[in-house]
Amino acid sequence: MSHQYLDRLEKVVSQHEEWRLRDCLNLIPAENRGSPQMRAMLSSDFGNRYTAPDRFYRGTRYSDELLSLTEELARKVFNARYADVRPLSGHIANMAVLLSLTKKGDKILSVSPDEGGYPGIARPGLAELLELENLFFPYDHEAVNIDAKEAISLVKSAEPKVILFGASHIVFPQPVKEVGRRASGTVAFDGSHVLGLIAGGEFQDPLREGCSLLYGSTHKSLPGPQGGIILSNNEEVFRAVSGPVFPGVVDNIHLNRVAALAVALLEMIQFGKAYAQAVVKNSQALAKALVAEGVRVRGAAQGYTKSHQVLLDYDAAKLESNAARLEQANIIADNGGRLGTSELTRMGYGIADMGTVAELIAMVVLGRKPIDFVQKRVKSMVRQFQEPKFVLQSVPKILE
Ligand SMILES: Cc1ncc(COP(=O)(O)O)c(C=O)c1O
């Protein structure tokens, strides 16, 4: 009996890996590919262990060293005085921020989910659970960005308690400096999507643009394990947010994830600049090639993108049907029309390959070729990119 389940389990894991790793173009911007070294850390014994700030658990001498080593690496990568790598995900990091900085009835300002803001912080997500009032940034849909001038007036008149920059659909740096310095509340940046680019110095730099907090997921453009992180240069705000992480939103911190994050951070120290530059160049090349093929892409006036994302320009129903047909052709994207280049870049695709990727997408979106034809071409392309790049070969300088 248990054999049957084991067989099914092994089958589902190997079928998934065979399909998504060997047969698919993975273009979901929330995803990435961990290096073999990072994956090895995920299966280490740390995944069986506990540690806690109240020193309840014994046997933690190496666990505690791991946690402080990883936080030290995070501080270095993001040039931050304070780092907390205990949040289990970007959503949990958002929860820690809002739980500690707001109380019932407070106003928070963020990008509307209708304009690609993260739905988890708006109603019916955290804002509802914490009984907060959601205000949304005035948004310039054409420019795919916050309308800085209007946002300044709103910040001055409404005085939100917390201002959250960042978004799930994000192709351009946001006007953090201009808007943030008019704020009376705490200014924070949810960098879930762009942390890998920030690590490589290829996006904006929220901690030096007036944000008290930079936080988010560690696995989207940052090629780390699924998890969360909080960074700051402001001791008071950091203590306020980090203090309640345990026992408020996290108990077990999943130490194997922390070890895996350390690997990703070391990769960023060694390759962050090159990786982030390659990701952005690939997005720009993909956007241009798609347009040349006749596919509609948002943000033309600003050069389409400065991040790991390219945003297709169709209505919601068309975006959803595109995504379903792309999936049949083994091109994996989301229903929101975002195409991400982080994982392709990690696997060694360069700007020359973006022309082929765009051609394959256009064949499906514009109905130029049968799905089976595209799927065959996708599979043969993906088979050529099976080795992750930007992976540690030697001991990084920091450990010498
Ligand atoms: C901007 C933003 N913040 C937070 C999250 C939640 O991150 P996680 O899935 O790590 O909980 C997302 C999700 O994709 C996101 O886009």
Say if ligand 1 is within 6 A of residue 167 CB: yes
Which pLDDT value is given to residue 371?
98
Instruction: Write out the two tokens for 203.
Output: 């996006």
Instruction: Write out the two tokens for 358.
Output: 């765009």
**Per-residue CA distances from 156 to 44, 124, 179, 180 (Å):** 50, 26, 9, 10
Which pLDDT value is given to residue 399?
46
Ligand 1 atom at shortest distance from the alpha carbon of 226:
10
Residue 109 falls inside a structural domain: yes
Site to probe by mutation for ligand 1, drawn from 28, 31, 86, 91 as the one with most ligand atoms within 8 Å of Cβ, is 91
Which pLDDT value is given to residue 2?
77
> What is the mean predicted confidence (pLDDT) over 330-346?
98
Ligand 1 atom at shortest distance from the alpha carbon of 91:
11
Name the residue type at position 367.
G
The parent domain of residue 114 ranges over 39-265
Q: How confident is the model at residue 214 (pLDDT cuts 50, 70, 90)?
A: very high
d(C-alpha 214, C-alpha 222), whole Å: 14
Residue 359 falls inside a structural domain: no
Ligand 1 center to 394 CA (angstroms):
32
Residue 90 falls inside a structural domain: yes
d(C-alpha 296, C-alpha 311), whole Å: 9
At 153, phi and psi to the nearest 5? -60, -40
Question: What's the number of domains the chain is made of?
Answer: 1
Name the residue among 116, 140, 138, 120 with its Cα closest to residue 130.
Answer: 120
Asked if 28 and 193 count as a contact pair (C-beta separation under 8 A), the reply is no
Which of helix, strand or coil describes residue 117?
Answer: coil
Residue 19 falls inside a structural domain: no
> What is the mean predicted confidence (pLDDT) over 66-75?
98
Q: How much is the pTM? A: 0.97
Which pLDDT value is given to residue 3?
87
pLDDT digits (tens, 9 = 90+) for 354-372: 999 999 999 999 999 999 9
pLDDT tops 80 at residue 343: yes
> What is the mean predicted confidence (pLDDT) over 151-178?
98
Say if ligand 1 is within 6 A of residue 166 CB: yes
Find all residues with CB under 8 Å of 17, minimum gap 6, and list them: none
pLDDT tops 60 at residue 213: yes
pLDDT tops 60 at residue 98: yes
The rounded Cα 132 to chain-centroid distance in angstroms is: 25
pLDDT digits (tens, 9 = 90+) for 244-284: 999 999 999 999 999 999 999 999 999 999 999 999 999 99
What is the percent of the chain where pLDDT is above 90?
A: 97
What is the percent of the chain where pLDDT is above 70?
A: 98
Say if ligand 1 is within 6 A of residue 284 CB: no
Residue 62 falls inside a structural domain: yes
**Per-residue CA distances from 334 to 162, 189, 289, 363, 389 (Å):** 29, 23, 20, 18, 24
Indicate the average pLDDT of the chain: 96
Say if ligand 1 is within 6 A of residue 192 CB: yes
Say if ligand 1 is within 6 A of residue 217 CB: yes
Residue 179 falls inside a structural domain: yes
Q: What CATH number does residue 94 fall under?
A: 3.40.640.10
Residue 397 falls inside a structural domain: no
Ligand 1 atom at shortest distance from the alpha carbon of 168:
16
d(C-alpha 374, C-alpha 376), whole Å: 5
Which pLDDT value is given to residue 394?
61
The rounded Cα 76 to chain-centroid distance in angstroms is: 19
Say if ligand 1 is within 6 A of residue 89 CB: yes
> What is the mean predicted confidence (pLDDT) over 379-396?
89
Residue 304 falls inside a structural domain: no
What is the DSSP-derived secondary structure letter of residue 229?
E
pLDDT tops 80 at residue 395: no
The residue whose CA is least distant from atom 7 of ligand 1 is 90
Instruction: Write out the two tokens for 84.
Output: 């907390």
> What is the mean predicted confidence (pLDDT) over 285-311?
98
pLDDT digits (tens, 9 = 90+) for 302-315: 999 999 999 999 99
